[in-house]
A and B are shown apart, each in its own frame.
Chain A
Amino acid sequence: MSPTDLPADAAPVGVPAPEPLLRVRGLRKSFGTNRVLESIDLTVGRGQVLALIGPSGSGKTTILRCLNGLELADGGTISIGAEVTLDFGTAPVRKELTALRDRSAMVFQNYNLFPHKTVLENVIEGPIIVQGRPRAEATAEALALLDRVGLADKRDAHPFELSGGQQQRVGIVRALALRPQLLLFDEPTSSLDPELVGDVLRLIKELAVEGWTMVIVTHELEFAREVATEVAFVDGGTIVEHGDPKQLLRNPTQERTRQFLHRLLFPF
């Protein structure tokens, strides 16, 4: 059952269809004459995990960046929940952009922690400075989150003192501390040494089990199979096919998907 092509009331009896949280319609984006996204449609239900896979340059990261307003699309709409809709057809106003960012939080491939701030300061910067929450409350919540990812003792360390895996866990905690409705992951383990990948993937999997709604750009097929509720294969700026991870990754219907998976599984 794929949440992207069926409205909620079309779900068969016995399978509770999740209420859609993220809806993307007709998303288009060009860089100069280079058309990066053709016309992207996506729906992610509350508590669902969508994995975007595809060759580099396919546009999957651009989709993710549009979802956080880091990239402004040329056309199409993005809505999160019932309240926020960003329509790129009409020039989006700053207020809508802010509302979009309020509801989503992103974890970057290169962590992008603030190097001049401690681990704790990195986490509470958004809650306190941007969201205006009380310092004591934000700090307590941040420490609980850091404790949960095993980094409570690093609260006063600066990012350069941490391993890549630890930095990425702080990156995830920084995103969670914003209390978003939607978590976005841009190749969260691609910069990590192989032995550090497991910790980060395990944490993301835990978050999925807890019911966080997530969109993950990843090359980790095994991880996508296990954690995602849906996989979309992106190539040439379009979603070539999407569906149940186990189904799609084992038995793709499209030749392009087949070739991509083959290259990943047998690199040489």
Chain B
Amino acid sequence: MNQSTWDLFLSSLGPIVLGAVTGTIPLALVSFAVGLALALVLALMRLSRRRWISSIARVYISIVRGTPLLVQLFVIFYGLPSLGVLIDPWPSAVIAFSVNVGGYAAEVIRAAILSVPKGQWEAAYMIGMSHRRALTRIILPQAARVSVPPLSNTFISLVKDTSLASLILVTELFRQAQQVAAFSQEFMLLYLEAALVYWVICLALSSVQGVLETRLDRYVAH
């Protein structure tokens, strides 16, 4: 690597990291939080004994998982305006990513709830708990432990998927890299640099996952 490429690498690191800090990371965090709340509701709907309620959730999940995220983004940002609905880039991205996480994480949470032994529900009922209380105090804390690894996967995928938001004009990590690349014509360098920053973020997330798993595992035999 000669001096000028090295200089470009260092000088572009600023805007790229800035894009990560002001775009990629908050976009992923907000979308994940909203998506997770949505996923919990959908998971409970899927588990409902009332057929029509579980059907709604089933159809939602099927559509979200059966269509590309990029298409969903474009429908919201470029499609809705033709119906008179104009949404800014940032909220469009948050909506699309939340809807998407909701669909995927719903199945994770549903499986985690089902993985808690039936005897736990029975013991909760036995001590007099209502369904809702049994769910929040006994079942969900145990389901949370089971769902940390798959939900971490979902989150890490989401962090990388936020790069798609560059296509609807959100200023985030990849869009910053693209702009420097277009200006300097150093495509290989800039795209590898963007990849490197994504990788570092994901490494950090993996270690957070590790800490979370150990914390939640402390009451379980190994």
Contacts and interface: CB of A to CB of B under 8 A. Distances in A.
Contacts, number: 62
B119 interface: yes
Residue picked from B119, B219, B220, most chain A C-beta under 10 Å: B219
B122 interface: yes
Residue picked from A112, A117, A174, most chain B C-beta under 10 Å: A112
B9 interface: no
B38 interface: no
Interface stretch (B40-48, B106-114, B127-135, B201-209): B127-135
B221 A160 contact: yes
B75 to A, nearest CB: 41
A114 B128 CA distance: 14
Contacts of A159: 219
Given A130-B127, A158-B219, 14 more contacts: A68-B125, A69-B125, A70-B126, A101-B126, A112-B119, A112-B123, A115-B219, A116-B141, A116-B142, A116-B145, A125-B137, A129-B137, A174-B127, A178-B128
Interface string A59-73: 000000000111000
B167 interface: no
Contacts of A113: 123
Interface in A65-121: 68-70, 98, 101-102, 105-106, 108, 110, 112-117
Contact of B123 (A69, A114, A129, A131): A114
Contact of A160 (B125, B129, B141, B219): B219
A107 B88 CA distance: 58
Contacts of A126: 127-129
A108 B127 contact: no
Contact of A178 (B122, B127, B141, B220): B127
A129 B128 CA distance: 9
Contacts of B137: 125, 129
Given A130-B128, A178-B128, A114 B221 contact: no
Contacts of A106: 126
B115 interface: no
Given A116-B141, A116-B142, A68 B221 contact: no
Interface string A129-167: 111000000000000000000000000001111000000
A175 B219 CA distance: 22
Contacts of B122: 70, 108, 112
Contact of B129 (A70, A115, A129, A174): A129
A112 B128 contact: no
B64 interface: no
Interface string A166-183: 000000001100100000
16 contacts: A68-B126, A69-B125, A70-B122, A70-B126, A101-B125, A108-B122, A108-B126, A114-B124, A114-B138, A116-B141, A117-B219, A125-B137, A129-B129, A129-B137, A158-B218, A161-B221
B220 A160 contact: yes
A225 B117 CA distance: 34
Interface residues of A, number: 28
Interface in B69-127: 117, 119-120, 122-127
B145 to A, nearest CB: 8
Nearest to B125: A70
Interface in A28-74: 68-70
A8 to B, nearest CB: 29
Contacts of B120: 112, 114
Contacts of A112: 117, 119-120, 122-123, 126
Contacts of B141: 116
A50 B80 CA distance: 70
A116 B221 CA distance: 11
Contacts of A108: 119, 122-123, 126
Contacts of A160: 219-221
Interface string B180-222: 0000000000000000000000000000000000000011110
Contacts of A102: 128
Contact of B128 (A117, A131, A158, A161): A131
Nearest to B145: A116
A154 B138 CA distance: 21
Contacts of A110: 119
